[in-house]
Amino acid sequence: MKDYIEVDEWKIIERGFNPACNKISESIFSLGNGRMGQRANFEEAYSGETLSGNYVAGVYYPDKTRVGWWKNGYPEYFAKVINAANWIGIDVTIDGEQLDLAKCEVASFRRELNMKEGFLKRTFTAKTGSGKLIEVEAIRFCSIANDETGAIKYSITPINFDGALMLTPFIDGDVVNQDSNYGEKFWDEVTKETWPLGGFIHMRTKKTGFEVVTGMQVVVFQDGEPVSPNVQPLQKEKYVASQIQVKAKKGQKTTLIKYVSNLASLNHPTAELAPDTRQILLELSEKRFDVLLAEQAKAWAKKWKHNDIIIEGDTAAQQAIRFNIFQLNQTYTGEDDRLNIGPKGFTGEKYGGSTYWDTEAYCVPFYLATAKQQVTKNLLLYRYKQLGKAIDNATLLGFNDGAALYPMVTMDGTECHNEWEITFEEIHRNGAIAFAIYNYVRYTGDEDYLADYGLEVLIAIARFWSQRVNWSNEKQQYVILGVTGPNEYENNVNNNWYTNKQATWCMEYAMEVAAKVKATAPAKYAALVSKTNFNEAEETARFKGIIEKMYFPFENDYQVFLQQDGYMDKEQVLVKDLPATERPITQKWSWDRILRSCFIKQADVLQGMYFFEDQYDLDTIRRNYDFYEPRTVHESSLSPCVHAIIAAKLGDEARAYEFYLRTSRLDLDDYNNDTEDGCHITSMAGTWMSVVEGFGGMRVRDGKLSFNPFLPGKWKSFSFHIGFRGSLLNIKVSKDGVQIKNLSGSSTVVLVYGKEQFVKANDELLVEA
């Protein structure tokens, strides 16, 4: 755990330069706008430890799978959102000496992420090897007002000398991915162009053929006035630059403004990429940096008006929840149903930027409540449009008759995860995709989605589960063998309770929806039966038979659901008895030792209890929580939030607050010693859930919002906005009670502590504690 980020309600602040933490900070201070994003690399040269990262949403490369032992059914490649052209670069030379903080004496340094207004600011004072002292201020942002653009304002001031400055803003397409399986570069140059104060480079991905034109236009000022410097355009392979020379006097500020556009063939005809780039750069430079920054602040104010969570009395908790919400809004806007949410977003290469089941399990609740309904619908449509490839994937593994196994990792619907225990065994992901459909319909009331799209997916998933089980003569029950549950510290186990639970629930829900669609939309139902060859009588009979006779492992002494067969054969050691020097075990232990231990990476049985909480009484949930939580090392970012929510439900304030802080500050404090790889974006939605579903106790009951909140002892109050079926509510929980503001033009009914409360349009009421 690190502790170098200053606590502030609206800002992430790093004061003082520590090279050992630089890659962590590059992740934490990342920027994005849903269409593109970047790590917080320095504009000027830096020869120290760094992970360069600039990313364009939806642009990926199929990196050939690298494994030691090939198995039938293995994906041929791992799809990756790849490092794209570096557009932030500005080489700085002072009287022939290159500015490089790894080689300078850094007298002062401050890096600040302004979450309220959406920009990154860095200031430092440094002394070069020759003794020249300079001050630098750099401000940059990725615009959410125009999501194909960004801008940088880079100012340098000599402190103790007069001298010559050479500023070289550039775009570099000769980039690499640190995680390239074979050291391959993924981009070819198509063309490039320069002019005195700008240029662009046109790149094309190998194999996939995505094309991206990245362009820049530069303006230079001294003492706030525009100047016409000596400029030399530069070109080399995959590189364009403008070499700018100016004289600078002691105390005189020289400012370079770099306007940038990033246009992809996903969104523009290829022939229009270059002319559109020139036009956008012209428009940006005519608007000027300060105007663009003001537009950025206005756009972020609109987002915060709906998404902000306000916590009074606990600045660390306040900073943390805003950081999580900020990163979620930087990563995904929901405007494009071709896009999804990678576990690292735009903050790093790990996990390839691909789609995992995290989206359905953790991100869907956040976007349901904080964005337009279409945003979450687009996440579901993303999977619907990939159903054909999910069926192909199941067929490749030996399933038939329209059974679908959605990929663990994907860009276009094709499975591309290259670890057998994940690719073939972590099949519970099918359940998360089905549950997201249920969650969406429960929340929005949009039952038309079931007839139009949902049922087709649910039938294919139910078919998979009905074929994946087998009959055990010994148990005289159905079993599911050879799986990996959410706890990835167990592989190739039999009868993972969570997986078995998801299987039966998916078949139940598919039958329920089929009956509903048949009754309410018979023509659509008939068309779907014909399209999918769904034999209602035969297939539902099989589903019912499996549901009735599914085996669920149970531990009688502790009266808990057993994570999988044989779990109690392991030595039962609690996490509290593990020496701190041996954690995280994923970095300190051999895989063999981990697999033989009882330690749990993330919520497994408890993940099922979170999803299906209405099926279990509090005593059952408490027994399972008290058994499994002490054995859980929380080395998955997805673990603490589930534990926080369940602890809150159980009234366990201490553990609810502990796990809230852990999930919310996971990256800020580098809990798992892995933030340098990128932030844990999808788990950040779980942080929001910890507050709203945990402390706020929000659920949907019979088509109504229900709240059963409590106030953590360290907080004076907390409040959040919820959009629900056309209404926008503000909920504030304090020692006085629960205040509900209806910010919409129609009345609504909510449940508070189980009692109905009628809230008039544009009115408010207080439910006293």
**How many C-beta atoms surround the C-beta of residue 504 within 10 A?**
20
Question: Three-class SS of residue 206?
Answer: coil
**How many C-beta atoms surround the C-beta of residue 305 within 10 A?**
11
- Establish how many alpha carbons lie within 13 A of residue 595's alpha carbon, considering only the half-sphere containing its beta carbon: 9
The H-assigned helical ranges of 242-314 are: 273-287, 289-307
Residue keyed to tokens 């020759």: 130
Instruction: Give the H or E element holding residue 585.
Output: helix 585-588
**How many C-beta atoms surround the C-beta of residue 625 within 10 A?**
23
Which residue among the candidates 43, 415, 425, 488 is catalytic per the annotation? 488
d(CA 278, CA 286): 12
Residues 6+ apart with CB under 8 A from 507: 462, 465, 466, 543, 546, 547
d(CA 364, CA 376): 6
Contacts of 123-132 with CB under 8 Å at 24 or more apart are 124/17, 125/159, 126/99, 126/101, 128/94, 128/97, 128/99, 128/104, 129/97, 129/103, 129/104, 130/95, 130/97, 131/160, 132/94, 132/95, 132/97, 132/158, 132/160, 132/161, 132/163
Cα–Cα distance list, 278 to 150, 193, 411, 602 (Å): 14, 11, 30, 49
Query: Please, are residues 567 and 449 in contact by the beta-carbon 8 Å criterion?
Result: no
d(CA 462, CA 460): 6
- The DSSP code for 550 is B
**How many C-beta atoms surround the C-beta of residue 147 within 10 A?**
20
**How many C-beta atoms surround the C-beta of residue 176 within 10 A?**
14
CA 160 to chain centre: 45
Q: Is position 26 annotated as part of the catalytic site?
A: no
What is the sign, positive or negative, of the torsion defined by CA atoms of 625, 629, 635, 637? positive
Decide the pairing of beta strands 748-752 and 704-707.
parallel
**How many C-beta atoms surround the C-beta of residue 721 within 10 A?**
20
Closest Cα to residue 693, out of 655, 736, 642, 739?
642
d(CA 563, CA 488): 12
**What positions carry a catalytic annotation?**
488
